[in-house]
A and B are shown apart, each in its own frame.
Chain A
Amino acid sequence: GENVEQHPSTLSVQEGDSAVIKCTYSDSASNYFPWYKQELGKGPQLIIDIRSNVGEKKDQRIAVTLNKTAKHFSLHITETQPEDSAVYFCAASKGATSGTYKYIFGTGTRLKVLA
Chain B
Amino acid sequence: GAGVSQSPSNKVTEKGKDVELRCDPISGHTALYWYRQSLGQGLEFLIYFQGNSAPDKSGLPSDRFSAERTGGSVSTLTIQRTQQEDSAVYLCASSNPVGRQPQHFGDGTRLSIL
- Give A residues with C-beta under 8 Å from B: 6, 32, 34, 36, 41-46, 49, 89, 91, 93, 95-96, 99-108
Contact check, A100 vs B100: say whether CB atoms are below 8 A apart: no
Task: Give me 8 A-to-B residue pairs in the complex whose CB atoms sit less than 8 angstroms apart, sorted by A's number.
Answer: A34-B102, A43-B4, A46-B104, A89-B43, A95-B100, A103-B35, A108-B40, A108-B42
Residues of chain B from 85 to 114 with CB closer than 8 A to chain A in the complex: 91, 93, 95, 98-100, 102-108
**Residue of B with least CB distance to A43:** B105
CB contacts (< 8 Å) of A89 on chain B: these are: 42-43
Please report the number of residue pairs spanning A and B whose Cβ atoms sit closer than 8 angstroms: 66
Given that A34-B102, A43-B91, A44-B105 are contacting pairs, would A102 and B33 also be in contact in the complex, using a CB cutoff of 8 Å? yes
B residues neighboring A (CB under 8 Å)? 4, 31, 33, 35, 40-45, 48, 55-56, 58-59, 91, 93, 95, 98-100, 102-108
